Amino acid sequence: MNIRFHGHSCFEIESEAGKIIIDPYLRGNPSTTAKPEDFKQLDAILVTHGHHDHLGDAVELSQQTGAPVIAVYELAAYCQSQGAATHGMHIGGKYLFPFGWVKLTLALHGSGIEETAGGPMIYGGPPCGFLLQIEGKWIYHAGDTGLFGDMELIGLRHPLEVAMLPIGDNFVMGVEEAAHASQLLRSKVVIPMHYNTFPLINQDVNEFLRMLQRRVPETKGIVLKAGESFEIA
């Protein structure tokens, strides 16, 4: 199974069972050269919440590939109204798709949809994270979130191979909080995300790696640049 990073919080996961993309912020993303038209085939588009740097090009990708947008019910309903195929879910629920299991988790954030810059926010339901079981391996994409204690429960119930955690601070966890989250989750690998895309979320990723090594030496930190990938055996 291959996990490819496309900058910010966008990941493409490809396995023998299918190909998915999470938080497809491509067009307008200063940290990637990938474009929506590069994705000719997808099996699902997972969106953690309605903010533009996560919802991104989800509707266009669905129209282009026929893949459903998987999101909380309210956000899925919005995407459907824009012409996307959708599969609505909610936090705590899980569903078996052809590519694997998807379970929605808590995330501490917002999810308003801003159709025009500075315009009114449309209610997008609560934000979420995603727990995925693909080819028998558990993967956790935390979405945009602050630190919360039930991350320990996520780690206890799901032996995580990879966790993608935001470290950008201001809107999400910072470096110290993400290192503590790693202690709770006990994933084999942690990939930092949601940092250095904009000046407001600039962080020293090496400080995160050092803190991770001190606090959770059994967890390996992997830093990916946009376009780089990590292989799960």
Q: In the structure, what pLDDT confidence band is assigned to residue 26 with cuts at 50, 70 and 90? A: very high
The distance in angstroms from the start CA to the end CA of the chain is 7
Structure tokens at 182: 């790693």
From the list 35, 41, 74, the residue with the least C-alpha distance to 57 is: 35
- Alpha carbon distances (Å) from 214 to 73, 155, 180, 210, 229: 40, 19, 11, 6, 25
Prediction pTM value = 0.98
- 2-224 under CATH 3.40.50.720, yes or no: no
Residue 42 has pLDDT above 90, yes or no: yes
Per the CB < 8 A criterion, the answer to whether 91 and 103 are in contact is: no
**Dist. CA 19–CA 41, nearest whole Å:** 8
Q: In the structure, what pLDDT confidence band is assigned to residue 118 with cuts at 50, 70 and 90? A: confident
Structure tokens at 2: 């291959």
**Dist. CA 221–CA 112, nearest whole Å:** 31
Structure confidence by residue, pLDDT tens digits, 163-185: 999 999 999 999 999 999 999 99
